[in-house]
């Protein structure tokens, strides 16, 4: 459910007081989901819900982030594929331009 930074986009997801809080652009109904909080370790709602492999720790197929927005296993897999493609593209550019890799 990714989208550009427009009204309804979740611009920030935080774990506060053991609960997820979302900042939504334009004070509208949320239109986007997030993965970051679910992968964190420690206490609180959502923390540790997503394993480092990208699978839900409890075997679920979806997680409601902020109604009606849900994060699905497919969403997580697509994010992983996109991040891998971007990393590969950067590596190819660095190799072809003979630049030192960034730390």
92 against 8, higher pLDDT: 92
Distances (CA, A) of 26 to 5, 6, 44, 49, 80: 10, 8, 27, 28, 28
Cα torsion angle, 34, 36, 39, 40, sign: negative
3-state class of 67 per DSSP? coil
Query: What is the tens place of the pLDDT at every residue in 8-51?
Result: 777 777 777 767 777 888 877 766 545 655 665 655 556 678 88
Residue 33's pLDDT is 46
């Amino acid at each position: 459910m990714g989208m550009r930074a427009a009204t309804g986009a979740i611009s920030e997801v935080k774990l506060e007081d053991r609960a997820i809080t979302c900042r939504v652009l334009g004070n509208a109904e949320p239109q986007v989901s997030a993965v970051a909080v679910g992968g964190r370790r420690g206490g609180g709602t959502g923390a540790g819900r997503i394993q480092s492999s990208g699978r839900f720790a409890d075997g679920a197929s979806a997680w409601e982030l902020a109604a009606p927005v849900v994060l699905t296993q497919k969403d997580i897999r697509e994010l992983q594929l996109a991040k891998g493609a971007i990393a590969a593209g950067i590596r190819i550019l660095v190799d072809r331009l003979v630049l030192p890799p960034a730390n």
